[in-house]
Every structure is written in structure tokens, then in C-alpha cells.
């Protein structure tokens, strides 16, 4: 596997996962799907970036790998890299909370 395919796959997994978990999508398609889902498992999966990245990375890892061990390692590497990208690009709001001190 060439490094270019891995890097491009990481970016693609991150983008699709971010689209589904955090955005409304073009023409509000993702928003409409979210409204129609009444299954707790599926709606929870769509809201959790880390959980969703595992399942988005699965078909990509199977496509990139040659033997089964490659497929598993690439699957988890893609999900992990997408999670790292998400943490690097997301503002951490809890670090900016004002400190409260009682007199």
C-alpha cells in the first residue's frame, strides 16, 4: 500500500465521519435522516464521532488491506487517525471555562 492512499483514506474517513456526526449535510440530508431515526442505537451512533469512525473506517480498511491482518490493522489505524484529526481540529471548550473561587 502506498502512503498516499493511506493519507487520502484517513482524510476521507475523517470527512465522512465528521459530516455524519456533526453537520446537517448538503440540502439538510443528514438532518432529515437524524430526525427520522427513532432507534436509540443508531441515533447515538450518529452523534458519537469516535464510534462512527470505527464503522466508517471498516469498509475502507477492508478495501486497502491485502491479507486479513492488514485489513484489521488498517481499519483501526484509519479510525485512530480520524479521531486524532478530530481532536486536533475541534476547539476544546472545557479548557476555557472561567475559574470560580469562593471568598
Q: Is residue 100 pLDDT above 80, yes or no?
A: no
Indicate whether 82 belongs to any domain.
yes
Q: Domain range for residue 61?
A: 3-88
Q: What is the domain count for the chain?
A: 1
> pLDDT tens digit string along 82-94?
999 999 988 865 5
Indicate whether 17 belongs to any domain.
yes
| Distance set, CA 60 to CA 3, 42, 44, 68 (Å) | 14, 20, 22, 13
pLDDT at 43: 66
> pLDDT tens digit string along 16-68?
999 888 887 788 887 788 777 766 667 667 778 898 999 999 999 999 999 99
Find cell 481540529 and name the residue: 89
CB 17 within 8 A of CB 48: no
13 pLDDT tier (thresholds 50, 70, 90): very high
Indicate whether 47 belongs to any domain.
yes
Amino acid at each position: 500500500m502506498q502512503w498516499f492512499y493511506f493519507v487520502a483514506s484517513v482524510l476521507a474517513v475523517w470527512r465522512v465521519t465528521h459530516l455524519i456526526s456533526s453537520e446537517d449535510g448538503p440540502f439538510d440530508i443528514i438532518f432529515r435522516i437524524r430526525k427520522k431515526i427513532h432507534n436509540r442505537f443508531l441515533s447515538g451512533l450518529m452523534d458519537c464521532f469516535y464510534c462512527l469512525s470505527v464503522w466508517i473506517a471498516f469498509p475502507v480498511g477492508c478495501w486497502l488491506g491485502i491479507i486479513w491482518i492488514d485489513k484489521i490493522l488498517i481499519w483501526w489505524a484509519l479510525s485512530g487517525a480520524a479521531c486524532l484529526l478530530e481532536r486536533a481540529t475541534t476547539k476544546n471548550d472545557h479548557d476555557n471555562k472561567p475559574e470560580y473561587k469562593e471568598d
